[in-house]
Structure 1
Amino acid sequence: MEKFEKYNYQTEESEAKLKEFISKVNELSTQGFISESASAEVVAAQLHNTKLKHRLAVLQRAIAEEEKKLGINSSTGSSSGKAAKVGGAPKKMSATVRDRMSIRDYLTEVFTHALRTAFPDLEDKTAAVAPTNEKYVAKFGDYQCNDAMALCKIYKDKGVKKSPLEIAQSLADVVNKELASNPNLAKVVDKIEVAKPGFVNVFLSRVYAGEQLKDIVLNGVQPPSLDKRLRVVVDFSSPNIAKEMHVGHLRSTILGDAICRLLEYLGHDVVRLNHVGDWGTQFGMLIAHLQDTYPDYLTKSPPIADLQAFYKQSKKRFDEDETFKKRAYQCVVSLQKFEPDYKKAWDMICDVSRRDFQKIYDRLNVTLTERGESFYQKHMEELVPYLEKKGLLELDDGRKIMWGDDRGLIPMTIVKSDGGFTYDTSDMAALKHRIEHEKANWVVIVTDLGQGVHFKLLGECGKKAGFLDPNKTRLDFVGFGVVLGEDKKKFKTRSGDTVKLSELLDEGLRRSLDKLKEKNRHTELTPTELSEAQQAVAYGCIKYADLSHNRNLDYVFSFDKMLDDRGNTAAYLLYAYTRIASIVRAAGVNIDDLVKSAHTTPVSLEHPKEFALAKTLLRLNDVLTLVTRDLCLHHLCEYLYDVSTAFSEFYDNCYCIEKDEAGKIKKVHTGRLLLAEATARVMKKCFDILNINTVHKM
């Protein structure tokens, strides 16, 4: 303990604060608000408390310094070579295949460590590190820690004067000290600079960038290392049986699939569930209509291929014929008892719908496991006594309801007045099943924003019921806006009907073929290549137009815009990818030989445009981490566009292949070809996550 005696608990700041406090207490005593003896006790207690707090901060700082000398990680009690928690010593950062992570997250750990070292009284604070705006990278570095301004305000509120520049310099001093002693950090960071009014700028190392890109060429694009593999249930698409999939199902299907692909790529155990509407009143009227229209349905399969028309006919009868309506309700009761004849009719109707749904899923290259509302019938029956036993259900005009946190909103209807169940019941039962039976650590529900209140209430009721523990299970409602027509109104046909998804995809194919022919691609590609390009452009543009918009907002559906090969569109990006992929072919280099050359030839990063492209490629894991947090795929689309733009600038300024006047190749820059190959691989990985097919010729 002798080594700690040099740290005196009294500082100018603490003395000033104490004098101010004592003055206020004496003033209150003089005015008669507190007794003289009480004021003395308060002052003594405050003085003692201040001493203890400051002594604790000093001891923690001293201990941290001693542990650092000994190579001990205070967060784990182990060697500093082990991974540390945020706020401890920075996590090891290397260019090995097994140890990849987001550079932004790594630098956040570095600066959090610096913040808590330089300012131990702010030990609960986490640093904020962000990529520098691309316009200012050359001058202000690749990443910035901008905490100094916020910390300045914190100290100002405490009555302590510290300038943002002074705070920034303190952070930089700690990081520079770490930079001089930590080879892992020195491998990533070239230098640290402080700029007015209080920015700490981080410049990445060319050596580190080269090693990372070499790794991409040799081993492919690998996901960031996973702290914990989670079991994730993603509920998406969810059309209704007996109704055709329409444009309203487009966003849920595309968003849900991309989220699954991202989480699967990161290494999570993903369950893709299609919570179809296959239970309820509508099946009563469909079965009753089936019995009347095809009385021999039990022995002869009825020709109900056009299920949409069949549904409309049964709905018309249900609305207009009271006798038919009563029969329909009775059919529902019989179906829910799983009576054989009624279940067979229900199976027939569901099978017709499934075949139609599957055609759409096949075209979009989406896989799902169907688990409709019917699956949860027995679980709904078990849910009611479960909630009653916990005293969570209330009677309300014959209904059994359950409230969330706010009684000013609406409750969940668990049992209707006629004894039937509702969507509330099936969703509660589904959530309980996913957590308890599927053992989900994370549940993601992808549906329109109009159902936001319902799913907020579902989360609240799940917590009240005791099966949803936020500390063990993450629940995300991934809401999305409406698809609009070019008139900025809800996207419909000219007749006012909902746009069928199959017809939308057909129109996309027609328009993409016209676009390819407009550019004379049909004269350059084989029929097979043309068909592949047509489908890649059509389906890719439809998906990208959706995913590239913030899902929380409505977006305008326009074939003209999404098929434009300029700007941030799938058409432009697919063309860019094929151009990059063609460079190696144009150089006459075998791709296997190029990959092998990465062992001996460094990736070329000397030119500013080469290094700018390299650093853009290195941001992939930053972006994937961000998308994992907020489940907004437009971040990845913006990144893909950034990569394409950075490559164009590189390609315009740096020749990969040099030719003589006769057009013959006189020099091939292998280091630049390796950079082009790394770019193509990163773009391909982004396309794969977005479920957009690429082609090598377009």
Structure 2
Amino acid sequence: MSELTWELKKLNDLERKTEELSSQIKAVTKDDRYTEIDDDLIKLQVKNNKLKHRLSLIRESIAKEAKSDAMEVTESISITEHLENVFARAIALAFPEYGNTPVIIAPVNSASAKYGDYQCNNAMGLAKKMKEMGLNRTPREIANELQKSCPLSPIINKMEVGGAGFVNVFLSKDYAAQALKNILRNGIKPPRVLKKRVLVDFSSPNIAKQMHVGHLRSTIIGESICRLLEFLKHDVIRINHLGDWGTQFGMLIAHLEERFPDFLNKSPPIGDLQHFYKESKKRFDTDEEFKKRAYNRVVSLQSGEPNSRKAWQLICDVSRKEFQAIYNRLDVTVKERGESFYQSHMLSVVDLLRKKKMLEQDEGRQIMWSDEDRSGVPLTIVKSDGGFTYDTSDMAAIRHRIEEEHCTWIIYVVDSGQSTHFNTIFKAAERCCILNPTVHRVQHVQFGVVLGEDGKKFKTRSGDTVKLSDLLNEGMKRSLEQLCSRGREKILTAQELIKAQEAVAYGCIKYSDLCHNRISDYVFSFDKMLDDRGNTAVYLLYTYTRIRSITRNLSDDFCNLEKILDTVEIVLNHEKEWKLAKTLLKMHDILVKCSKDLFLHFLCEFCYEVCTVFTEFYDSCYCIKKNKDGEIVEINRSRILMCEATAAVLRQCFHILGLKPVSKL
């Protein structure tokens, strides 16, 4: 805060006193008993006037200073955060003793636009605090003080005090018009946030098992979280924590050696790993000799025996190809790092815990309590046979991520059923000083399960888990049927039809997941997600293509957008123009909100709002006028620019959500 601001803080109290003295002066001069004004009162009045003049000059200087700072504001701000800063400054100036009060800014419902666009709701809380201190100030008086103390801001047109003490903020149309032009000229820039090195652990299927519907949510949510944080300019590491270590690989290797003894020289036909896994599991459960051999193979694998490692690598390679085929279809990028990666790190984390005397013997195994009071369930760090567990690998992983990857924010996108496990891991890591909660943020981004339309866990008719590849294939089939039912195969080229089919199929699956609060379970229904009405990917994609078709009708008129931006001003006179502009400028507020607790359904709701508000705008405000012969006779270039800005905002949101916009659908 500048010296002028500090000076004004000191003088604010004096101003209130001078106002009281002014009232006394007025009372004296109106009293019939006084025929002439006392000299002392005259001096006081002069002093008052000088002080008021000084205050006026300081306020003017501060306003200029604030305006100079604010001129750096671009379209890449969060309006809510900007207003929070404005009113934080106002509170510090008007009521220095309450300068640390959190600012409360709330958007005004569009139906109440006559009361402003945003409200500061601090006056009532401040009045309550003052009353506790023996000061009686009404919320409305406090709101007036806040309004008077607010520095100038280019995004604010005016402020009014209303109701019981709300400060209503009306946004500037000039600012909004310029912000929309900046979007078109420079692209959408991210809001400014404190940059962090973030690791996102997501998807995490198991080797030798096909990806199924249970992996769908982690994969989709994790990918979108990565895209969101990357857009905000965080340094993001995407990790696929594969299950590629442990007892199941002992039985797989033993089965492979017996079924395909020549596997070291010739790759066996084990493409159907699911069947291969089921065979080995059945033998493991019924054949004691095979079970013993499988356990021996676990030991040989973990000790690095060449033949066991070769067999393990073959199994991993087949799985890796299947996983990648799914990731390619869903446009997911993730770096593989299996549990095997942490083998040496598990050894060192065990040594660390022993040195810190945090391991205890318990029926042959070595355990660790996450709390010193031994509440909850302990971690099993070393099994009775000397092997390691998921607890060991997760402790090794979090240590590696903090100490070697230098991450300050670690995100685990894993189902809600694992919440107890991760809470225990986080507490244990903190107890042994791997994790410092004042420096590191660790977060379990949990989610509910996918349900069938019967309200039960989503399965095939035979009761098997739904394979992800089958689900995607069904989505492609259904989306093509829908497109053909609208006659799109007659309008689109073969290549355009494939792009539209993929955009609808994969987009509706992703969006149906992301548009729900991730903590809740949700019902998977192709009929609902392929509906072109309501908050669905299909509706959003159709709205986007509708916007793109408007500019396409203009042929070469809008090829040189830069030239248009230099010569055309965006005008926001119509209420639907203004409503659309304000909606688009909420994007950064939404992105900041999504990034705080990683709930992406807020972004889905925003996309739906943009599309519905755009439809209102387009239905009420002509963009292109045609004569009865279909010839264009008039173009409203300002509104065309608003269409382009809307498309730009939707494209960026679509990218974060993993939707692929197409110009024709």
Instruction: Tell me whether the two structures share a fold, i.e. TM-score over 0.5.
Output: yes
Matched, 1:100 2:64: no
The percent identity for this pair of structures is 56
Find the residue that maps to 1:497 and give its secondary structure. Answer: coil
* Residue pair 2:410, 2:443 contacting (<8 A) in 1 also: yes
* Residue pair 1:93, 1:106 contacting (<8 A) in 2 also: no
User: Which residue matches 2:303?
Assistant: 337
AA aligned to 1:568 is N
* Residue pair 2:119, 2:169 contacting (<8 A) in 1 also: yes
Find the residue that maps to 1:92 and give its secondary structure. Answer: helix
Task: Give structure 1 stretches of 5+ with no counterpart.
Answer: 12-64, 74-79, 82-88, 180-184
What is the rounded CA distance, in whole Å, between the counterparts of 2:305 and 2:535 in structure 1? 55
Matched, 1:317 2:283: yes
Matched, 1:171 2:146: yes
The Cα of 1:425 is off from its aligned counterpart by: 0.8
Aligned counterpart for 2:249 among listed residues 277, 280, 283: 283
User: Which residue matches 2:94?
Assistant: 118
Matched, 1:392 2:358: yes
Within a 5 Å distance, the mapping from 1:143-162 to structure 2 comes to 143-162=118-137
What is the rounded CA distance, in whole Å, between the counterparts of 1:70 and 1:415 in structure 2? 70
Matched, 1:491 2:491: no
The Cα of 1:689 is off from its aligned counterpart by: 0.9
What is the rounded CA distance, in whole Å, between the counterparts of 1:123 and 1:221 in structure 2? 34
The Cα of 1:458 is off from its aligned counterpart by: 1.5
Find the residue that maps to 1:499 and give its secondary structure. Answer: coil
What is the rounded CA distance, in whole Å, between the counterparts of 2:7 and 2:538 in structure 1? 70
Matched, 1:548 2:505: no
The Cα of 1:590 is off from its aligned counterpart by: 4.0
CA 1:399–1:125: 2 relative to 1, 3 Å: farther
* Residue pair 2:12, 2:94 contacting (<8 A) in 1 also: no
Cα-to-partner distance string for 1:578-620 (whole Å, 9 max, x where unaligned): 0001101113344332342111211131111101101111111
Task: Give structure 2 stretches of 5+ with no counterpart.
Answer: 1-5, 18-54
Aligned counterpart for 1:613 among listed residues 568, 571, 580: 580
CA 1:7–1:672: 2 relative to 1, 3 Å: closer
* Residue pair 2:576, 2:620 contacting (<8 A) in 1 also: yes
What is the rounded CA distance, in whole Å, between the counterparts of 2:139 and 2:159 in structure 1? 16
CA 1:216–1:7: 2 relative to 1, 3 Å: closer
What is the rounded CA distance, in whole Å, between the counterparts of 1:151 and 1:587 in structure 2? 55
Matched, 1:354 2:331: no
What is the rounded CA distance, in whole Å, between the counterparts of 1:6 and 1:667 in structure 2? 56
User: Which residue matches 1:382?
Assistant: 348
Matched, 1:266 2:243: no
What is the rounded CA distance, in whole Å, between the counterparts of 1:95 and 1:520 in structure 2? 50
Within a 5 Å distance, the mapping from 1:656-671 to structure 2 comes to 656-671=623-638
Aligned counterpart for 2:273 among listed residues 295, 303, 307: 307
What is the rounded CA distance, in whole Å, between the counterparts of 2:388 and 2:58 in structure 1? 61
Q: Which moved more, 1:337-346 or 1:465-474?
A: 465-474
Find the residue that maps to 1:461 and give its secondary structure. Answer: helix
What is the rounded CA distance, in whole Å, between the counterparts of 1:91 and 1:555 in structure 2? 50
What is the rounded CA distance, in whole Å, between the counterparts of 1:244 and 1:434 in structure 2? 28
Find the residue that maps to 1:110 and give its secondary structure. Answer: helix
User: Which residue matches 2:332?
Assistant: 366
User: Which residue matches 1:127?
Assistant: 103
* Residue pair 1:95, 1:208 contacting (<8 A) in 2 also: no
Q: Which moved more, 1:120-129 or 1:486-495?
A: 120-129
Find the residue that maps to 1:101 and give its secondary structure. Answer: coil
AA aligned to 1:109 is N
TM-score between the two structures when normalised by the length of structure 1: 0.85
Matched, 1:478 2:445: yes
The Cα of 1:6 is off from its aligned counterpart by: 11
The Cα of 1:498 is off from its aligned counterpart by: 0.8
Aligned counterpart for 2:593 among listed residues 616, 626, 630: 626
* Residue pair 1:145, 1:199 contacting (<8 A) in 2 also: yes
The Cα of 1:72 is off from its aligned counterpart by: 9.3
The Cα of 1:687 is off from its aligned counterpart by: 0.5
Cα-to-partner distance string for 1:541-569 (whole Å, 9 max, x where unaligned): 00000011111111111100100000000
Find the residue that maps to 1:233 and give its secondary structure. Answer: strand
What is the rounded CA distance, in whole Å, between the counterparts of 2:58 and 2:405 in structure 1? 44
Aligned counterpart for 1:213 among listed residues 165, 180, 192: 180
The Cα of 1:152 is off from its aligned counterpart by: 3.3
What is the rounded CA distance, in whole Å, between the counterparts of 1:505 and 1:300 in structure 2? 32
User: Which residue matches 2:29?
Assistant: none
AA aligned to 2:302 is Q
AA aligned to 1:115 is I
Aligned counterpart for 1:421 among listed residues 388, 391, 413: 388
Q: Which moved more, 1:288-297 or 1:390-399?
A: 390-399
* Residue pair 2:383, 2:389 contacting (<8 A) in 1 also: yes
Within a 5 Å distance, the mapping from 1:69-80 to structure 2 comes to none
How many residues are treated as equivalent by the alignment? 622
The Cα of 1:301 is off from its aligned counterpart by: 1.1
CA 1:2–1:586: 2 relative to 1, 3 Å: closer
The Cα of 1:397 is off from its aligned counterpart by: 2.4
What is the rounded CA distance, in whole Å, between the counterparts of 2:225 and 2:157 in structure 1? 35
Cα-to-partner distance string for 1:230-264 (whole Å, 9 max, x where unaligned): 22111100000011100110000001100111111
The Cα of 1:295 is off from its aligned counterpart by: 1.3
User: Which residue matches 1:446?
Assistant: 413
User: Which residue matches 1:675?
Assistant: 642
* Residue pair 2:558, 2:564 contacting (<8 A) in 1 also: no
The Cα of 1:369 is off from its aligned counterpart by: 0.7
The Cα of 1:143 is off from its aligned counterpart by: 1.1
What is the rounded CA distance, in whole Å, between the counterparts of 2:99 and 2:149 in structure 1? 15
Cα-to-partner distance string for 1:432-474 (whole Å, 9 max, x where unaligned): 1011111112111101011111111121111112121222222
Cα-to-partner distance string for 1:190-230 (whole Å, 9 max, x where unaligned): 0111111222111100000011001111111111234x432
AA aligned to 2:499 is E
Q: Which moved more, 1:543-552 or 1:594-603?
A: 594-603
What is the rounded CA distance, in whole Å, between the counterparts of 1:551 and 1:158 in structure 2? 44
* Residue pair 1:95, 1:212 contacting (<8 A) in 2 also: no
Find the residue that maps to 1:392 and give its secondary structure. Answer: coil
Aligned counterpart for 1:109 among listed residues 85, 93, 97: 85
What is the rounded CA distance, in whole Å, between the counterparts of 2:136 and 2:288 in structure 1? 80
Cα-to-partner distance string for 1:154-212 (whole Å, 9 max, x where unaligned): 3344454333323322222212xx23xxxxx1x21001111112221111000000110
User: Which residue matches 1:39?
Assistant: none
User: Which residue matches 1:33?
Assistant: none
**Cα-Cα RMSD:** 2.6
